[in-house]
Structure 1
Amino acid sequence: MPMTHGAPPPVVYDVTRLVTRGLNTSPNGIDRIDFALARHFLSRGAIPLSCTALGPRLAKTDEALAAIDEIESFWREDADIGRDAVYQAVVAALKAEGANRESAQLARKPGFARIERNWRALRDWAFHLGRPLSEIPEGAIYFNGTQFLLDRPWYVRWLDARPDVKPVAFVYDLLPVDQPQFFRPIEATLHPRRNRNIAHRAAGVVVSARVVEARFKAFAAENGRADIPVCVARLPVSPVFETQTPAPPELAGVDYFVVCGTIEPRKNHLLLLNVWRALGARGEAPKLVIIGKRGWLNENVVDMMARCPTLAANVIEAAGLSTPGLRRLMAGARALLMPSFGEGFGLPVAEALVAGAPVIASDLDVFREVGGDAPDYLDPIDGLGWLRAIRDYAEPNSRRRAAALSRIAAARIENRPQQFFETIDQFLAGL
């Protein structure tokens, strides 16, 4: 029977990356969006697709939804922070007069039972027999929310045999193409390849910002697809950040800042460490909480944190912090710091502003698109400017911080997750 005009087409959602995330102790930004998209589509009857030992296969919707619930439970997304060991360890380190090298790095350890269970779940998915791709309904949308494996010709070859299926990919950024120096060397090959595959095959692309839309359209035009439809859907922020959360009473009188993101060179942690080293030498250093796991090409950052006594006394590295724990820390922080050299969206900026927390961020077009005039913007190489801003925000009655809070209140930062999904649904229905 032909599809009614405007009716939503059947969706096949790729859960391959999603089912591997139980090996991580906490989600990153792409994880959050992947899980939100998967829950949206699967709860409406979408068919999950996963890469197995037999190649791409179809799975049961209830099995994929159960995997989502299991992994999010492990991440403690809705947990009481009283049971978040990383949050409690951060609080203890912030209250201590001086940190030591052993306590400077706080990481959540899942325990052997959890590791064994996660590996068993991953093994089950890898050897999942599933159903053949020939069972995909005619005219369906194949949605890949993370670009995972789209650089592999063998993984996307099935699309050539099913020209009726409309591939759609979420493109977060083209930073490995434009700024390869910040990524593993292999990304200079893989990221252009996966985006060329998207440009050549996709019936449409979803992006989170106008800045990314313009860049991808230029890339697609260079690869012969100037006509590819692109949908801009602003990323949703977890409802946790909308809650009215008071500053942690246990941290009353403690001045601290937070920076959130994987420790990798694009995030520019080294600038902050040099600022903190200078502040420590003057005896003026507040605490800095670095929230995120260690990524790649970060030897300078890791060595500096390990070997500099001033940083050991004032910098706390926390991996595996729950989302409620992050929200609670934001409530008492002097500001969120985001000195990145490049971002596709910058979800922590949106999270902080929705939570009502001040933000000091790099002067990037995408941050201005996300935050408008609310953040305090600085050049990511202006070390003295960042030093002055952090000193200003750390003052007991900081006028600069008060002005930032006034801008946030005036901007009336809104978070409309449902609009994100509605925008994508309308886009898919029109393809």
Structure 2
Amino acid sequence: MPLRQDEVPQLTDATAQEPRRRVVYDVTRLVTRALNPAPNGIDRVDFALARHFLERREEERGALVCTAIGPRLADPAKALKTIESVEAHWREESDAQEDSVYRAAVASLRAQGGDANVSARARKAPSFAALSRNVEALRRWAPHLGRPLRTLPQGVVYFNATLFLIDRPWYVGWLASRPDVAPVFFIHDLLPIDAPEFFRSREALLHPARMRHVCRYGAGAVVASKSVARRLMQFAADNGRHDFPICVAPLPAAPVFSKSVAAPAELDGLSYFVVCGTIEPRKNHILLINVWRELAREAKPPKLVIVGKRGWLNAPVVDALEGDDALRPHVVEAGGLSTPGLRRLLAGARALLTPSLGEGFGLPVVEALAAGTPVIVSDIEAFREIGGAAPDYLDPLDGSGWLQAVRDFSAPQSPRRDAALLRLKQWSGADAGGYFATIDDFLARLPRRA
């Protein structure tokens, strides 16, 4: 059932023309990502919001980071430079052809038979030079950490986009002594509470603690979908916050995905599909592994590119990737792929496959739709909300249905894929300008507390 506007507590007694409030952005998690070769979905959201808030005028911005002596204020300009160093390490603005993982993935897609084994496990190792630059940036930044939180001006907004360390009382305790500060949290989902079997056992303890702190201290929350808003409303009410303000702001795709990209010449004539996400149970990679085991029995089957790092509770998938010789020539594991590399792969793919068992949003789906790539997704609430009529929807447990869909979409003249491309032309997603304006307006309307 669609969420009516009056079902989520909103703030409507101000206008968008009100001056922007100073936002102190928590950069703690983001500055720890220098060792990761590529961003995941949470990283993309964190970085986009950090840039938005830290590029403001001096009187409108601030930064908070965890230090050895707890959370402290940091110089926002230096925080931004450090974050940009991490972005450079991720090669967000590079050409796909400069990405060794992309080149290795293409080589695997083009390889025939046993030759595919040579490079079918393309994974990006951290570059010593890039890591050295990031460590140096952190070293230069470190002397500027340490201003106590009591020096914050009255009435600022504290924004945390990842809930990193929010389960720790010592990290959030300062909020109790500063009731004038308006804490706002981005809530990706409540799945570790609702489906703990998909996560490390520790998450079943940590996420409830995070969310209880959100309800205790939060002045409001930002979510990406109405389905998460409904679940958050219920959790907040169960924890005594029946009027908890929630801003629903669907995530936009990064601009690179909306740029027109012709099918790359190096991928011409290749039949392949892409799945994008950390290899962990909720993403349901095992269904696709079983589909490709069946396809491997056929003459000239399409290939599958798995974009994402190895996560947790993934032994069946990893065992198949490393030990199934019949499967190996047909599946490419592209860990550490850059964003430009992903965009280029999507340009030539038959479809993005997303058989997730649960999602709070689904950024790869939005990215593929923005890129003009057909998508085949699980028939779950979040995907219905963001995809509308554009995707092909399948039960995430219907292995034979997914097998048939892959066969249909891989056909050279595929009526099913052509129909998906026609539907895709009617799809439109959120734009970055509107996304940030929605959040800024929400923050401006938050009541100022003494």
> 1:118: which partner in 2?
134
> 2:389: which partner in 1?
373
Is 1:423 the counterpart of 2:435 in the alignment? no
Is 1:69 the counterpart of 2:84 in the alignment? yes
One of 91, 97, 100 as aligned partner of 2:112: 97
Is 1:106 the counterpart of 2:135 in the alignment? no
Q: 1:330/1:120 Cα in 2 relative to 1: closer, same or farther (>3 Å)?
A: same
Is 1:13 the counterpart of 2:30 in the alignment? no
Shift of 1:236: 1.6
> 1:226: which partner in 2?
242
Q: Give, in whole Å, the separation in 1 of the partners of 2:277 and 2:341.
A: 15
Q: Give, in whole Å, the separation in 2 of the partners of 1:223 and 1:235.
A: 27
One of 54, 71, 78 as aligned partner of 2:69: 54
One of 182, 196, 213 as aligned partner of 1:180: 196
Is 1:22 the counterpart of 2:31 in the alignment? no
Q: 1:246/1:170 Cα in 2 relative to 1: closer, same or farther (>3 Å)?
A: same
One of 87, 95, 114 as aligned partner of 1:80: 95
> 1:315: which partner in 2?
331
Shift of 1:293: 0.6
Shift of 1:134: 1.0
| Cα-to-partner distance string for 1:265-298 (whole Å, 9 max, x where unaligned) | 1000000000000111233521100000111111
Q: Which moved more, 1:7-16 or 1:380-389?
A: 7-16
Q: Give, in whole Å, the separation in 1 of the partners of 2:131 and 2:432.
A: 32
> RMSD of aligned C-alpha atoms?
1.7
Where does the alignment leave 5 or more consecutive residues of structure 2 unmatched? 1-13
Alignment of 1:249-398 (within 5 A): 249-398=265-414
Q: Percent identity?
A: 59
Shift of 1:126: 6.5
* Aligned 8 A contact 2:75 2:144 in 1: no
> 2:49: which partner in 1?
37
User: 1:41 is aligned with what amino acid?
Assistant: F
- Give the SS at the match of 1:310: coil
> 1:157: which partner in 2?
173
Q: Which moved more, 1:117-126 or 1:397-406?
A: 117-126
* Aligned 8 A contact 1:211 1:366 in 2: yes
| Cα-to-partner distance string for 1:106-128 (whole Å, 9 max, x where unaligned) | 11123333334434545666675
Q: Please identify runs of 4+ aligned residues in structure 1 that moved more than 6 A.
A: none
Q: Give, in whole Å, the separation in 2 of the partners of 1:112 and 1:72.
A: 16
One of 160, 163, 171 as aligned partner of 1:144: 160
Q: How many residues align?
A: 428
Q: Give, in whole Å, the separation in 2 of the partners of 1:156 and 1:415.
A: 32
Is 1:410 the counterpart of 2:426 in the alignment? yes
Q: 1:111/1:273 Cα in 2 relative to 1: closer, same or farther (>3 Å)?
A: same
* Aligned 8 A contact 1:53 1:126 in 2: no
- Give the SS at the match of 1:106: coil
- Give the SS at the match of 1:143: strand
* Aligned 8 A contact 2:105 2:119 in 1: no
Shift of 1:250: 1.3
* Aligned 8 A contact 1:54 1:129 in 2: no
> 2:5: which partner in 1?
none
Q: Give, in whole Å, the separation in 1 of the partners of 2:291 and 2:138.
A: 42
Shift of 1:8: 2.1
* Aligned 8 A contact 2:27 2:79 in 1: yes
Q: 1:183/1:58 Cα in 2 relative to 1: closer, same or farther (>3 Å)?
A: same
| Cα-to-partner distance string for 1:146-203 (whole Å, 9 max, x where unaligned) | 1111000000000001011111000000000011001000000000110110011100
| Cα-to-partner distance string for 1:196-242 (whole Å, 9 max, x where unaligned) | 10011100010000000000000111111111000001112110001
Q: Give, in whole Å, the separation in 1 of the partners of 2:310 and 2:139.
A: 25
* Aligned 8 A contact 1:51 1:126 in 2: no
* Aligned 8 A contact 1:23 1:119 in 2: no
